[in-house]
Structure 1
Amino acid sequence: MTATPMQERGVQTASTPPLHIENLSRVYPSGEGQVQALASFTHTFPPGMTAVVGPSGSGKSTLLNLLAGFDTPSTGHVSVGEVNLTTLSEPARADFRLAHYGFVFQNHNLVSILSAQENVEFPLTLAGLSPKERRARARDLLELVGLANRAGHLPNQLSGGEAQRVAIARALARDPGILLADEPTGNLDSKTGELVLGLLTGAAAEGRRVVLITHDSEVAALAHHRLSVRDGVVTPG
């Protein structure tokens, strides 16, 4: 898999908030004992794309859930800029995610009864933008991902790759500083996967912090930085 032109431009400096974890760990109760899903570690995610690589069950998804504030750490905290995400109430975390995070999942998670255009507009509706502003922003993003001609189609009328590109457009709707992508090419053929990765590397090249969960070494090779996870232990490279 070759680097995309967007990736070859490198990472620009952007005013996105730093993403930092301090002594972060997650332990789950199991019968009479405990399971360490993620061992304590400290890391600052730099601008650009960081691939988090490891086999199934290694702790990658646990890390992603903690970074997003979907789960609460056993020790340590996640901070975005000056905000300690871990100490926020759940409603405050949800509002913070809406403003600062974008998400791309293995299954695109589009709303089935909304068109591609409406799916991209959805986070902008939650943010209170006017219908005119929402439509314009969604049109621009669908054009960016090469799907302006599919704006009126429902998710079940799109191919898997098209739906995933709409999901990326939706993730970029509020211009977040942080993108979290969980196996975004896992259900795609290699050609379509390269298109999706090109969009993510392009977002990273603009200075965003993109955290990409993958078990694919070829996908990981396109990232600017890399973390390896095995049995809950995270190591650089």
Structure 2
Amino acid sequence: MVAPSQRTAPCVLHAEQLSRVYPSGEGTITALAPFTHVFAPGLTAVVGPSGSGKSTLLNLLAGFDTPTTGRVVVGETDLHALPEVRRADFRLAHYGFVFQNHNLVPILTALENVEFPLTLAGVPKRERRERARALLEGVGLSGRASHLPAQLSGGEAQRVAIARALARNPDVLLADEPTGNLDTRTGERVLELLIGPAREGRTVVLITHDREVATRADHTLQVRDGAVTVGG
């Protein structure tokens, strides 16, 4: 696997005239109005009230949802032009995800959860075990490797989720309200773990409603009523 220090040119994430419109009984609902933006390497905070379109944007950037118009380009790859199976493979190779509710596999230990994307990628057991142990050590949880998610605190589970997201050295890291359910001190520690990859030249997109969290970002997007603007 390629270590962050060995990376050359960053893999640019680019939204081109991206939009999402849903049909409704009274016509249509614009969840996300068309917008174009290059997500520069570093940490981009996407802020806005609940229901503003932040999660819609994240789902489109990840390829979980299909845009009404436009496309998402990662490096030179048009994400939505890929067949579903190839798009899933592309996500596995190039994306990492951190969700507000962790989404850890409940029957796997912390170590096994971090290993999971490496297992899917066919990485040999010894190599993936060494990588997972190093990542858990990096987030300060080497002593919790054998614990199941139910035996972890919320902050610990979120740190395991970040270690898992970093397992394949992703070009793009997407985080949906990763500090939303955490106390201030724990949230700060989780935020620092996300700032680290951004400083290494990865593209980290962080959805948040917390203005204080947003002030730590390199770049900011404001989403309100489906409209995306730079800054805010």
- Output the CA distance in 1 between the equivalents of 2:131 and 2:230: 37
CA deviation profile, 1:179-208 (whole Å, cap 9, x unmatched): 000000000000000000000001110000
- After superposition, the CA RMSD in angstroms is 0.8
Q: Tell me the SS of whatever aligns to 2:66.
A: coil
**1:211 alignment partner in structure 2:** 205
Residues 29-68 of structure 1 show CA distances to partners (whole Å, capped at 9, x for unaligned) of: 0114000000001000000000000000000000000000
In structure 2, distance between residues paired with 1:84 and 1:158? 38
Code of the residue aligned with 1:215 in structure 2: it is H
For 1:106 and 1:81, the matched residues in 2 are separated by: 27
1:16 Cα offset (Å): 2.6
Residue in structure 2 matching 1:160, options 154, 161, 170: 154
TM-score between both structures, scaled by the size of structure 2: 0.96
Report the counterpart of residue 219 of structure 2 in structure 1: 225
Per-residue deviation, 1:213: 0.2
Q: Counterpart in 2 of 1:39? A: 33
* Aligned 8 A contact 1:14 1:207 in 2: no
Q: Please point out which of 55, 61, 71 is paired with 2:65.
A: 71
Deviation at 1:86, TM superposition (A): 1.1
CA distance in 1, matches of 2:72, 2:205: 14
For 1:200, the equivalent position in structure 2 comes to 194
**Does 1:125 find its partner at 2:119?**
yes
For residues 86 and 200 of structure 1, the distance between their equivalents in structure 2, rounded to whole angstroms, comes to 26
What is the rounded CA distance, in whole Å, between the counterparts of 1:130 and 1:114 in structure 2? 18
- Are 2:62 and 1:83 equivalent residues in the alignment? no
* Code of the aligned partner of 1:60: K
Q: 1:14 Cα shift?
A: 5.0
Residues 20-35 of structure 1: pairs in structure 2 closer than 5 A: 20-35=14-29
Q: Shift of residue 161 of structure 1?
A: 0.2
The structure 1 segments of at least 4 consecutive aligned residues displaced by more than 3 Å after TM superposition are none
Give the distance between the partners of 1:44 and 1:54, measured in 2 at CA. 19
Deviations 1:131-167 (A, max 9, x none): 1001000000000000001000000000000000000
Alignment of 1:49-198 (within 5 A): 49-198=43-192
Q: Which runs of 5+ in 2 are unaligned?
A: 1-6
Inter-partner Cα distance in structure 1 for 2:138 and 2:171: 18
Q: Determine helix, strand or coil for the equivalent of 1:175.
A: coil
Identity %: 74
Cα distance in 1, alignment partners of residues 142 and 224 from structure 2: 41
What's the counterpart of residue 8 of structure 1? Answer: none
Letter in 1 for 2:124: S
